Amino acid sequence: MRAVVAYGPGDLRVEQRPDPEPGPGEALIRMAFGGICGSDLSYWRHGSTGAAVMTEPLVLGHEVSGRIAAFGPGPGPEGLAVGDPVTVHPATVVGDDPLPERIAGRTNLHQVVRYFGSAAFTPHTPGGFADFRTVPVGQLRPVPSGVDLRRAAVAEPLGVALHAVNRAGDVAGRTVLVSGCGPIGVLVVAAARAAGAAAITVADVAPYPLGIARRMGADVAIDLSAGEPLPADVEVAFEASGAPAAVGPVLAATARGGVLVQVGNLPAGPHPTDLAALVSREIDYRGSYRFVDEISDALALLADGLDVEPMISHTFGLDRVAEAFEVAAGQTSSKVLLEFDVPPS
């Protein structure tokens, strides 16, 4: 099979590997689509993302969809059959230590969680950018009728956005600001709109992502590169750029007693940030990390008609994977998909 493998900074290869065989309790998935995430780009550019540093070659990818090709030995799971379309919850909790009662059920906060396409642990956890991947059947999520595999590949990042909106509390009828209009930011826009937000303002330093955000449901777009100011007294804010310099201004834009959710991954290490408004405005500053099982909620929303097509900007076959990563890293793309089941051009 073909696999997209990062070997180090700037070293991305499509290589042949043996087809995997599913073991007991596993399914073999023939991949159809995979979305390139910011962490994939970071591994390709820097050999790391956040505190996770590559020490060995890594198969990338955690936003995937495909069809069940086979099951491992033993009885197959109820409700699933060979040929069924699925996406994958990419997290595997390691160990059976219970969470403290105060965070019971928040499985994303377990101390050790292996994630598709992650170098957080050694050996690294291979991702889903390959023709085939074995998956524990408990991590499969059936794709609802009416949702094609192209859109199903967006269920994972949409789950991240839904989790961020859930972390904010009830946004119905509230004014919302989303800072940063990359793929996660524009999906936060869609998730907040689905949750009943009254008015959504977005801000970014580039015109292209602002246009995508408008198409995904934003009411007002602010071009920070043109010196346009952020709004004042926004009830709920989402910082989705991951830029430390953005935190202070977004805090200042958040209303007294408001909520700011940090969904963009901030870089490791110390960075100067103006946090004065956090105290004087009594703002609740909350983190948001991946998701629990909001990927299932994402699939339900897609089935109900939530339109993610405006943010799927490009699709490439594996014979153009280098171009796909270059485009995904540019300022005139949103979600870039790899398509696996097409012949080379």
The pLDDT tens digits for 6-27 are 999 999 999 999 999 999 999 9
One domain, residues 278 and 166 = yes
Task: Record the pTM.
Answer: 0.96
Cα–Cα distance measured from residue 327 to residue 323, given in angstroms and rounded to the nearest whole number: 6
One domain, residues 209 and 277 = yes
Closest CA to 150 of 334, 285, 302: 302
Place 133 in a pLDDT band, splitting at 50, 70 and 90: very high
Place 185 in a pLDDT band, splitting at 50, 70 and 90: very high
What is the reported pLDDT for 236?
98
The single residue listed with the structure tokens 């580039």 is 206
One domain, residues 149 and 170 = no
Task: Say if residue 120's pLDDT is above 80.
Answer: yes
Residue 345 domain flag: no
Cα–Cα distance measured from residue 256 to residue 161, given in angstroms and rounded to the nearest whole number: 24
Residue 217 domain flag: yes
Residue 344 domain flag: no
Q: Give the range of the structural domain holding residue 112, as residue numbers without chain letter.
A: 2-154+308-339
Residue 293 domain flag: no
Place 343 in a pLDDT band, splitting at 50, 70 and 90: low
One domain, residues 127 and 15 = yes
How many distinct structural domains can be found in the chain? 2
- One-character DSSP codes across 175-208: EEEEE--SHHHHHHHHHHHHTT-SEEEEEESSHH
Closest CA to 139 of 128, 154, 131: 128
One domain, residues 116 and 17 = yes
Mean pLDDT value across the chain: 96
Place 344 in a pLDDT band, splitting at 50, 70 and 90: low
One domain, residues 283 and 176 = yes
One domain, residues 122 and 220 = no
One domain, residues 94 and 183 = no
Task: Say if residue 45's pLDDT is above 60.
Answer: yes
One domain, residues 241 and 312 = no
One domain, residues 165 and 83 = no
One domain, residues 320 and 261 = no
Residue 301 domain flag: no
Task: Say if residue 89's pLDDT is above 90.
Answer: yes
One domain, residues 172 and 187 = yes
Residue 292 domain flag: no
